[in-house]
Structure 1
Amino acid sequence: MFGIGELTILLLVIVAVLAVKRLPDLMRSAGKAARILKSEKRALKDEDGDRTQPSPRVIRGETTGRDTP
């Protein structure tokens, strides 16, 4: 019979042959999903850690004007 190593190589060859055209899109969507999960995890960690004193949320790409006295 086949061992784990042989089955892994066989699976990789099958994926490479059948999904050559779709593989870049699949990897791109997997990367996006990983980034989303990482940012949600970070947001939950920040939310749980600062229950007594909430910190201001910073949204990248937006600027605010300064209040001058």
Structure 2
Amino acid sequence: MIDPMIGMPQGAEWLVILAIVVLVFGAAKLPELARSSGQALKIFKDETKNLKDDDAKRTSAAPDALETRPEVTPTETHETSGEVLHERRDDTTT
């Protein structure tokens, strides 16, 4: 159960928090702090959008990726267990 005394700051509590921030960072640094926070948020949003776009491109191109896999063929068996060992054959080398 959540304690009703613990929650979001309201009214005068925000003023106390603001006063502490001004004391810690100084009044001259607050605009710079806000500007850098805004730039960081903008960069974060741009990067998450780019990741979503890359994922969408990757999922639409997934069937093509299966065709370009190198072929794997059995080449020899392991002497003690009879397990087939595989060697990757690259079609680009002749």
TM normalised by structure 2 equals 0.45
Q: Which structure has greater helix proportion?
A: 1
Q: CA RMSD in A?
A: 1.8
* Aligned pairs (5 A) from 1:36-55: 36-51=43-58, 52-53=60-61
Taking every aligned residue pair, what percent have the same amino acid on both sides? 36
| Stretches of structure 1 lacking an aligned partner (at least 5 in a row) | 54-69
Where does residue 32 of structure 1 map in the other structure? 39
Q: Which structure has greater strand proportion?
A: 2
What letter is aligned with 1:36?
Answer: I
| Stretches of structure 2 lacking an aligned partner (at least 5 in a row) | 1-8, 62-94
Q: Greater Rg, structure 1 or structure 2?
A: 2
List, as ranges, runs of 4+ consecutive aligned residues in structure 1 with deviation greater than 4 Å. none
Higher relative contact order (Cα pairs below 8 Å, separated by 6+ residues): 2
Where does residue 8 of structure 1 map in the other structure? 14
- SS of 1:50's equivalent in the other structure is helix
Aligned-residue offset at 1:49? 0.9
* Aligned residues between the structures: 50
TM normalised by structure 1 equals 0.59
